[in-house]
Amino acid sequence: MFEQLRRYETQAVWALGLAVVSLGPAALAALLALRNYNGDLGRIVYGGGGRFVLLFVGGVAASLAIAFPGFVLGWNSAGQPRNDRSAASWAGFLLGGLCLSVNIILLIALYMLGLKLE
């Protein structure tokens, strides 16, 4: 199977697929953060005994683990002259990079705005 990953067309398809799949866990983490956001306090409020942090960090980690290979495969295959699916490479590269950026922003938001209630 990995023998096929040398072809740029296969890398393009995998890049786009991985980038699209990585949006799911990132959306889960973003929805959790928005659900627990308190506008009056300007903080993401969560309880000490709940599963919020586990689900949030797990969603971000899963999304990062899926988006990074998609980003790298898209980067490797985009713009190659022998790539018949260059548009898929660019889409995987850009979508993977966007998802990586969103995940980093979500982690920074939890670090800066998180308020643990005991």
> What pLDDT tens digit does each residue of the chain (118 aa) get?
566 777 888 888 999 999 999 999 999 999 999 999 999 999 999 987 788 999 999 999 999 999 999 999 999 888 888 887 888 889 999 999 999 999 999 999 999 998 888 7
Report the Cα–Cα distance between both ends of the chain, in Å, rounded: 50
The answer to whether residue 110 is domain-embedded is: yes
Query: For the chain, what is the domain count?
Result: 1
Q: Is residue 32 part of a domain?
A: yes
**Does some domain include residue 90?**
yes
Model-wide pTM > 0.75: yes
Domain that holds residue 94: 23-117
The per-residue b/e assignment along 34-43, b for 16 or more CB within 10 angstroms, e otherwise, is eebeeeeeeb
Please list, in sequence order, all residues whose beta carbon lies within 8 angstroms of the beta carbon of residue 100, skipping any fewer than 6 positions away: 64, 67, 68, 71
pLDDT value at position 79? Answer: 80
Q: What pLDDT is recorded for position 3?
A: 67
pLDDT at 2: 63
Q: Is residue 11 part of a domain?
A: no
14 located within any domain: no
